[in-house]
Amino acid sequence: MSSNQSFFDPRLVGIDGAAFLDPAKLEEALLRLIPRAHISKGHFTYPSRAELRDLVWNHMDQNHRPFIHRTYGEAARLFIDPHASFSLTRYGRWPIAIPVFDGYFRENGFYQVMVLFGLLVVVNIIECNKGDDGTRMDVSWVVASHRWMRFLHPMLSRKFQRLNDVQNREDDPIRDRRVALRAANYRFATDAPDFLNSNAIGNNVEFPAFAGKHSISIKDLPEAVLHRTEVGDRAYILRRSGQQLEVWPGTCPHEGAMLGAGDVVGKLVRCPWHGLEFGPRRFGPGAGKATLCGALLEFSGDALTIGPV
């Protein structure tokens, strides 16, 4: 869609197959919506070590929010496509549903729109930008309400400042993990993120080619004890039961979360980012080979050999 395409609402701007409100026209639109509105603004900046594409993916990935952020409760996602998402989100443990619209309105930039109790409209403009020493998240918000609700605006602005700080700190381990994996030549199916691929459940990790062969003797593993081991640029969780061996991924194949012994419950390892669960590969007499985390696992005698596929 060309940027000069005309719409019935002249405040809309066509962007890559979609149309969004021109940010320069935001106040005009809110004043038209709420006559004699009181409008307040705020801004927050948070530095990051992640690449821009990983900041963008992190924002678009809505499935991690209930697992990483205490602010979010359950959400009913009503619509999602590459450009946008619309959901009803429960605020914490309160029986309060907030309609939330997320839109990718320009490169590395988002609208996030909420309506609180039908009385206050909150429009966040979230931008992932390059900084002097890395990248940063810039969040600007506009709150609009009738003038008699203006006493709530300072309180909301302080709340948004705290909320953005807490949530970015909670997201730092995810972003830093992506930095570490990229340094080891990992890639992801979400390297060109959009709302659709960032929220699709699949094996999005593209593991680098495995170099050499490594052998692990099960005699060195204590009986019935979970053990995380790193082999080259791979990680696995192992548990021996007699001459049987169970092997789980030490890196979540969905988006790369680190998995450890503490994430195994019974027969399943559970991803701390998205709650996905994976069963083990089982090896024993007569059980030969399997592919896991982009490497070939072969069991023979009392040794597990890990090598290239």
pLDDT at 8: 72
pLDDT grade for 1, boundaries at 50, 70 and 90: very low
Question: What class does CATH assign to 12-198?
Answer: alpha beta
Question: Smallest Cα–Cα separation from 75: which of 58, 61, 88, 62?
Answer: 88
Indicate the average pLDDT of the chain.
93
pTM confidence score: 0.90
Q: Which two tokens stand for residue 1?
A: 């869609």
pLDDT at residue 2 greater than cutoff 60: no
pLDDT grade for 7, boundaries at 50, 70 and 90: low
pLDDT at 239: 96
pLDDT at 6: 63
The domain at 207-307 falls in which architecture?
3-layer Sandwich (2.102)
How far is 180 from 4, CA to CA, in rounded Å? 42
Q: What's the pLDDT tens digit per position in 198-257? A: 999 999 999 999 999 999 999 999 999 999 999 989 999 999 999 899 999 999 999 999
81, 172 Cβ separation under 8 angstroms: no
pLDDT at 295: 97
Question: Smallest Cα–Cα separation from 306: which of 211, 178, 225?
Answer: 211
Q: Which two tokens stand for residue 260?
A: 């450890």
Strand partners, 246: 239, 282
Give the pLDDT mean for 122-139: 94
pLDDT grade for 302, boundaries at 50, 70 and 90: confident
Phi and psi at 300, nearest 5°, equal -150, 130
Q: What's the pLDDT tens digit per position in 70-107? A: 776 678 999 999 999 999 988 777 888 999 999 999 99
pLDDT at 5: 62
pLDDT at residue 287 greater than cutoff 70: no
What amino acid is encoded at 124 in this protein?
A: N
Q: What's the pLDDT tens digit per position in 156-187? A: 999 999 999 999 999 999 999 999 999 999 99
How far is 253 from 86, CA to CA, in rounded Å? 27
Q: What's the pLDDT tens digit per position in 27-48? A: 999 999 999 999 999 999 999 9
Per-position DSSP letters for the chain, written without gaps between them:
--TT---SSTTEEEETTEEEE-GGGHHHHHHHHSTTEEEEEEEEEEEESS-HHHHHHHHH-GGGHHHH-TTEEEEEEEEE-SSEEEEEEEETTSS-EEEEEEEEEETTEEEEEEEETTTEEEEEEEEEEEETTEEEEEEEEEEEEEGGGGGGHHHHHHHHHHHHHHHHHHHHHHHHHHHHHHHTT-EETTSS--HHHHS--S--EEPPPPPS-EEEEGGGSPBT--EEEEETTEEEEEEEETTEEEEEESB-TTT--B--GGGEETTEEE-TTT--EEPPEEEBTTB-EEEETTEEEEEETTEEEEE--
**How many CB atoms lie under 10 A from the CB of residue 255?**
27
Q: Which two tokens stand for residue 56?
A: 């963008």
Domain boundaries, the chain: 12-198, 207-307
